[in-house]
Amino acid sequence: MSIDTAEATENTTDEPTSEVPVLEVTDLNVTFQGLGGNPDVHAVRGVSYAVHRGEVLGIVGESGSGKSVSSMAAMGLLPDHAVITGSVRLHGEEILGKKDKEMARKRGKVISMVFQDPLSGLTPVYTVGDQLAEAVLVHDPKAGKDKARARAIELLSLVGIPRPEERYRSFPHEFSGGMRQRVMIAMAMANDPDVIICDEPTTALDVTIQAQILDLLRTAQRETGAAIVMITHDLGVVAGFVDRLLVMYAGRPVEIGDVDEIYYKSRMPYTMGLLGAVPRMDQERQGALVPIKGNPPSLSALPPGCPFAPRCPIAQPECELAEPELLTIGGQPSAERIRELAVAHEDASAGAREKDPEERIHDTGVRRAACIRSGEIDTNDWTARDIYPVPEIPEVEASSQAREDRAEMLRVDDLIKHHPLMKGAVFKRRVGTVYAVDGVGFDIREGETLALVGESGCGKSSTLMEIMGLEKPQRGTIEVMGKSTATLGKRDRFALRRDMQIVFQDPMSSLDPRMPVFDIIAEPLRAHDVPAAEVVERVYELIRLVGLNTEHATRFPSEFSGGQRQRIGIARALALEPKLLVLDEPVSALDVSIQAGVVNLLEELQAKLGLAYLFVAHDLSVVRHIADRVAVMYLGKIVEIGDTTSIYTRPAHPYTQALLSAIPIPDPEKERARTHIVLDGDLPSPANPPSGCRFRTRCQKFITLSESEQERCVSNEPTIQPTNGGDQGTACHYAERLTVS
Amino acid sequence: MSQTEDLTESERPDGAEETPSIPPMPNRAKDVLLQLLRTRRVIIGLVLIALLAALAFLGPVISQWGIGERDFTARLEGISPDHWFGTNHTGQDIFTQSTAGLQKSLLIGLLVALGSTVIAALVGSFAGYFGGITDRVLMWVADLALVLPSFVILAILSTHFVGQGGWLILVILLAAFSWMVTSKMVRGLTISLREREYIHAARFMGVPPHKIILRHILPNMSSLLIADATIMVSTAIIGETALSYFGLGVQPPDVSLGVVIANGAPYATTAPWVFLFPTVLLVVLVLAVNMIGDGLRDALDPHSKSRRS
Amino acid sequence: MGKFLARRLLNYVVLIFLATSFAYLLAATNLYPRGYFEQMQPPPSPEAVNAQLDALNLNDQTPIAQRYLTWLGGIFTGDFGKTIQGGDVASQMWMKAGVTLRLITVATLLGSFLGIAIGAYAAIRQYRAFDKSATAVSFFVLSVPTVVIAIVVQVLAVSINDLAGFQLLRYSGEYTAGFSGEWYELLLNRVYHALLPTLVLAVALFAAFARYQRNMMLDVLGADFVRTAMAKGLTRRKALFKHALRTALIPTITYFTFTFGALVSGATFTEKIYGWHGMGAWLIDSIARHDVHVVAAVSWFMAITIMAASFLSDILYAWLDPRVRV
């Protein structure tokens, strides 16, 4: 029943014909041996896929699902202590078990890879050009330095690095994340490989840069005709990009098929839940997200049955008997047959395993799912909302009142935060000023959620820190609950901290790892001299409020999963009963299935406690889901502000339009039909912002204007003007109504 | 189905009541302890230290000779029932001298390490947390202490180490000249910890700075401090030995291993025992301390973790 | 940049000035040069002693502030005063410094090269036999004080000489006194004498460098850029050598420079035991002779080397690592 070793794959086709897949992975298993008594980790179990020339295969899964490890194994990049079995064929040639020297000849030449983190992916001490030239030289030593250099420059310009000759001599740290990723792609393309494996190539990047990189990958594919394996956790990224999709869970492939089939007719509850858990940017009032309860299983102690069964809403007793095979829809054995097999298996023990893997483990191109109820799901045509219980979230009471009548929780006017730009780690000195926040203004009313969105470096976090510091700002005013921070005394400031608390992005670093949960949640209470007896009562109340168990109180943060840690952070923030909660990217570090639960919790708490939220995020899909109003920031300024519906349906600022357009939608048909506005270049340095309108250097509208019209953008800085009537305001001289698909 | 229940359910690990099916994120303290106990060199080091400490404090007591006492009938004599480790040229019993010296060396090592680690932790964390002028002043003091000719100062002041408790002055001076490098490390760590979100959180809830340093920052680098202090023990012992070798360290009537070794060195070829026994004790002591320190550092410092982690 | 460097150098000058002054004041108040003259044979008259002390600016009957100012005045003209025997401190200092620098330069180069090679290779072979034995050896060496190594090597040299029947290994002095011959013979004689002390220092340094380089190397072994290098077609060996080692060498070289500064005083014991007349040995002797000016001069020299080394290591770091390059 379970998959056997891959000796069964003897039907090697010797002649590489067009029929032979470029890359074929069959029944790949990777186990990391545990050290010193630690259990082995089964990172990949029975993965099979095949990609043909020009085809794009997506591999989707949450963190720890084994999607990266399987491709690293194919590249021969795993460390020695990984035990790999199965088969990896390149043009029909078995490459698993080849010596490093032979593999090195294939790597970068036939099969190449783009990694996730461009920050650490390039050697810091060599120039970008030299590293690129090395990729050419290593496969063609006779080419000579000059030729390799010429090719490197050619590649740099191909991937859209401006002034490639000059940039050849730059070091990696002088490049932005997006540019480094371009270099990585150039490196992967250098020798016209037949397969390019992209491991989360856009995860560390901002949406507008992501759009550029995805565009570039399409170009790369066109140029080289290579097959692409696209590994990602982002269901939006793959929707419009791939032909076929493989979904992984706990090291196993759980569903494979054409991208449309998977998105519209998913037949595996995990995939269904995943799709239901994604907040959608293209849907107004989506309702509560579908949370998948629980957490993925530990890869070192897997349950005997379906690994998803403990989290599955439609699990049956049979699910826990044996791990379901990846079979065609309806091809799964019946519940009775599974019970029989389980009994037979126990009798026969390991000796007489079923050995008919031929048919099953190969990727035959047919859509398959690893769920014994896949047939049932298919017949009934269930969707996520049919099988998952969706919580109902009450409306905020205050929302019945008009916005103007509600109390002001926070008002920021013309806030600036400039800080010195230092250069040199050894010889530190000031070389300029960073205009991190440069005249930002907004207000938040009771029970309302304002989202502050923008790409990294736009100043949204600096704005938060300024607000949370409760100090007198360099310029402008911050008023919390009607009190200006400029006039606050030490005592008042301390007292005001009760009313405003913060939840941070990284659930790893937002909790002191040396403190048990109880002390973490009690800290704000103790700091404000709440009597000990009340502290205990309040802490347990909070623990229950955020959906944790009371017995969790004595444990340490490291014992919790990301979602649970974020709940602890929320409990701590709520301890002093604040009226305003500042949320700094509270869900961006979480997996989709976990994220949904936290988003639902935040919405529920808001309704229950009447909180106001200042929600800072770069993920516009989550924002659309949770926010009442949205403020879009660019280079230290707000360029557009207004109620969520207006902003999303009628964005008036070109930047907002580009931002919305850049986000991929997890809907293959819609996604294929869209044309993305792809912005040029990177965010300019906040130390040296462009004159006039700060966005003009990248503006898609600017280039369409006549010279005299452009003059206004260059010399006049636009201020926020009411647009489209009502609440919406835009800082653009040529703002217009527009509906973005 | 009510809201709260549903949410509670959604995060509760399923299956058995309290066995979390969460990916492996074990208790760090327990993990470190387990790893320490699995590290053979830490165990060996601990056992050796325990044995040496027992020897150091029991040795002078069980020996029939007093510290500094001379047996004029036996000068420079080898191992005998009377003198377990032999005698030196003045007839002093090597066993008594060595174990008494071991005791002093051990005490000096521990006290110096304790003192310098406390100074380093406080100076480094305050400099790093407050930054600005505090940082500059404290680091300038550290630089000054680094440039001051510690050896000259110790050597000149060595005349004051005589008499009851005189060696404590040596301890203070050694500690005063060994905190600088550690404090710079602590400062660097503090600067990176200062930007951690839980520190921001504490600040935003109104916890005063000194409490943040003592409650959040120092505990979170305690592992590194402990490891560093252990290494400091061996550095101090070695430093004291070298000073005493030239008569600039512990002064008579106090004895340290350095003093005993110095007395024995001229006879190293002719009467090996006078040199060998104290030297072996010293090397074993330092080795044991280093083993523990290095094991601790490996187990606690995420940067020196093995590739397999 | 220039202004920045100037400010930094000025800070160094202030630190060195303070350190040296402190050493002078401490020595002048605690050492007792009068005793040095009083115990001469035949005992000189108190007037003669006073005259001697006055000539040397060492008279403890002169107020300390006055002596300090006189000494300080000399320093600014490059005059470090006189030794207690009446010699010129400055000229002797450069001679002694030469001896010390010769010894430690060769030793650090030898020790660091061996250490880096062994440490780096041990990291690549982590947990294998080579790594384990390299770790064990360096661990053991680190646990033995240099003094003990020096003595043991000396003892071994004596035994080997005894076995050989003639003086195969020299363990005392810088060169054979009264030896004369062609220049190459003189050179050979010096090399011969330098063998053992250099070895002693090199062994101790090797252990430290091996440990350090191993740790640095382990840090970069799992780095993403090594993976990238392999992904573009380099073999593991080549990726490690060209990308990992090059990156891991930067901190080691910085460390190397820093160590070199500290070694001027660190080599004291080796110098003393092997009868080399370097800085450290001079210091110990002059403390015994109550020679205030030499003590102050050596302190000055050591402070300078420490500062220079730390400055140089910063510059090297900035030069080698493009990330911190200005």
C-alpha–C-alpha distance, residues A287 and A330, integer Å? 32
Cα B227 to Cα C6: distance, rounded to the nearest angstrom: 38
Name the nearest CA neighbour of C144 among B290, A675, A62.
Answer: B290
Assess whether A487 and A439 both reside in one domain.
yes
| Contact with chain B for residue A554, Cβ under 8 A | no
Give the model's confidence band at B23: pLDDT under 50 very low, under 70 low, under 90 confident, else very high: very low
**Partner residue facing B14 (CB), from A294, A563, A597:** A294
Which chains neighbour B (Cβ–Cβ under 8 Å, 3 or more pairs)? A, C
Residue B109 host element (H or E)? helix B94-130
Choose one of A242, A257, A284: the last residue of a domain: A242
Residue A385 in tokens: 């909302």
Min Cα–Cα distance to chain B from C181, Å: 33
Q: What domains lie within chain B, and their CATH numbers? A: 35-64+85-298 (1.10.3720.10)
> Does the predicted interface ipTM exceed a cut of 0.90?
no
- Give the span between the Cα atoms of A55 and A410, in whole angstroms: 52
Burial degree of C62 (CB within 10 A; 0-12, 13-18, 19+):
middle
Window 5-34 of B, Cβ < 8 Å to A? 6-15, 18, 20-29
pLDDT at A587: 86
CA–CA gap between residue A164 and residue A160 (Å, rounded): 9
Contacts of residue A319 in chain B, CB cutoff 8 Å?
A: none
Residue A475 to residue A459: CA distance in whole angstroms: 15
At the fourth CATH level, which superfamily is domain C93-288? MetI-like (1.10.3720.10)
Q: Which two tokens stand for residue A156?
A: 């740099």
- Residues A413, A369 within the same domain: no
pLDDT at A135: 92
Instruction: Return the residue matching tokens 């949960």.
Output: A517
In a domain, A375, yes or no: yes
Element containing residue C4 per DSSP (H, E): helix C2-30
Do A178 and A292 belong to one domain? Answer: no
Measured between beta carbons, the chain B residues lying within 8 angstroms of C140 are 283, 287
Whether the per-residue pLDDT at B16 is higher than 60: the answer is: no
Question: What is the token pair recorded at A595?
Answer: 């994220």
Task: For residues A156 and A195, state if they share a domain.
Answer: yes
Closest CA–CA distance from residue A663 to any residue of chain B (Å): 28
Backbone phi, then psi, for A20, in 5-degree steps? -75, 130
With respect to residue A555, please indicate whether it lies within any of the assigned structural domains: no
List CB contacts (< 8 A) between B22 and chain A.
295, 298, 559-561
Residues A451, A281 contacting (CB under 8 angstroms): no
Chain B residue closest in CA terms to C303: B147
* CATH number, domain containing residue A600: 3.40.50.300
- Domain boundary residue among A202, A227, A242? A242
pLDDT of residue C128: 82
In terms of DSSP H, where are the helices of A23-127?
67-75, 100-106
Residue A598 domain flag? yes
Q: Is A84 helix (H, G, I), strand (E, B) or coil?
A: strand
Q: What is the pLDDT of residue A2?
A: 37
Q: Which of B147, B151, B290 sits opposite C268 (nearest CB)?
A: B151
Chain A CB contacts of C324 under 8 Å are 424-426
Angstrom distance (rounded) from CA A289 to CA A589? 17
Hey, are the CB atoms on B4 and A544 less than 8 Å from each other? yes
Do residues A416 and A317 both lie within one domain? no
User: What pLDDT is recorded for position A737?
Assistant: 54
Residues A301 and A177 in one domain: no
Buried (b) or exposed (e) across C274-306, using 16+ Cβ within 10 A? bebbbbbbbbbebbebbbbbbbbbbbbbbbbbb
Residue A456 located in a structural domain: yes
Query: In the prediction, which pLDDT does B151 show?
Result: 83
Q: Is residue A298 part of a domain?
A: yes
The rounded distance, in Å, linking the Cα atoms of C209 and C120 is: 10
Q: How does pLDDT run across B135-145, given as a tens digit for each residue? A: 999 999 998 99
Assess whether A151 and A44 both reside in one domain. Answer: yes
Q: How far is A173 from chain C (nearest CA, A)?
A: 6
Supply the pLDDT for residue B35: 66
**Closest residue to A100, CB basis, from C4, C223, C236:** C236
Q: Are residues A208 and A151 in the same domain?
A: yes
Q: Which residues of chain A have pLDDT under 70?
A: 1-18, 34-38, 118, 285-286, 344-361, 395-400, 424-427, 725-726, 737-741
Q: For Cα atoms A472, A475, A478, give the angle at the middle one, nearest 5 degrees.
A: 50
- Rounded to whole angstroms, the Cα distance separating C146 from C158 reads 18
What pLDDT is stored for residue A292 in this prediction?
Answer: 84
Q: Which of C223, C229, C314 sits opposite A426 (nearest CB)?
A: C314
The reply to whether A318 and A401 lie within a common domain is no
Domain membership of residue A76 as a residue range: 23-242
- Whole-number pLDDT of residue A16: 42
A139 and A87 share a domain?
Answer: yes
Q: Structural domain tally of chain A? A: 3
Q: Is B157 an interface residue toward A (CB < 8 Å)?
A: no
Domain limit, last residue, from A641, A661, A678: A641
Q: Which tokens belong to A590?
A: 């979480």
How far, in whole angstroms, is CA A240 from its chain's centroid? 16
Asked if A296 has any chain B CB less than 8 Å from its own CB, the reply is yes
**Contact between chains at B23 and A295 (C-beta distance less than 8 A):** yes
CA angle A86, A76, A298 (to 5 degrees): 65
Are the Cβ atoms of B268 and C151 closer than 8 angstroms? yes
d(CA A493, CA B203): 12
In this complex, is the C-beta atom of B165 within 8 Å of any C-beta atom belonging to chain A? Answer: no
- Which residues of chain A lie closer than 8 angstroms to B308, CB-CB? 35, 79, 81
pLDDT values of chain C reduced to their tens digit, one per residue, 326 residues: 567 778 888 889 999 999 999 999 998 888 888 888 888 778 888 888 888 888 888 888 888 888 899 888 888 888 888 888 878 888 888 888 888 888 888 898 899 899 999 999 998 887 788 988 998 898 888 888 888 888 888 888 888 888 887 777 777 777 776 677 777 777 788 787 888 888 888 998 898 899 889 888 888 887 889 989 999 889 888 898 889 998 888 888 888 887 887 788 778 888 888 888 888 888 888 888 888 899 999 999 988 988 888 888 888 888 888 877 65
B/C interface, count of CB pairs below 8 Å = 114
**A98 and A167 assigned to the same domain:** yes
Cβ <8 Å between C225 and A124: yes
Q: What is the pLDDT of residues B24-80, one digit of tens each?
A: 333 445 666 766 676 777 888 889 989 998 888 887 777 777 777 777 776 767 777
Q: Indicate yes or no: CB of A173 within 8 angstroms of CB of C323.
A: yes
Q: What are the sequence ranges of the domains in chain C? A: 2-76, 93-288
N-term to C-term CA, chain B = 43
Q: Point out which residues pair with A643 in neighbouring strands.
A: A629
Query: To the nearest whole angstrom, how far is the Cα of B151 from the nearest Cα of chain C?
Result: 8
Which residue is closest to C249 within chain A, CA to CA? Answer: A125
Q: Do B304 and C269 touch (CB under 8 A)?
A: no
A291 and A200 inside one domain? no
CA distance A41 to A152: 40
pLDDT at residue B10 tops 70: no
From chain C residues 134-153, the ones with a CB under 8 A of any chain B CB are 139-140, 142-148, 151-152
Residues of A at the C interface, defined by Cβ within 8 angstroms: 75, 77, 100-101, 104-105, 107-109, 112-113, 115, 117, 120-126, 134-135, 138-139, 171, 173, 184, 187-188, 190-191, 423-427, 429
Phi-psi region of B251 (alpha: psi -120 to 50; beta: other; left: phi over 0): beta
Q: Which residues of A193-204 are buried (b: 16+ CB within 10 A; e: fewer)?
A: bbbbbbbbbbeb
- Asked, for residue A695, whether it belongs to a domain, the answer is no
Position A36 scores a pLDDT of: 54
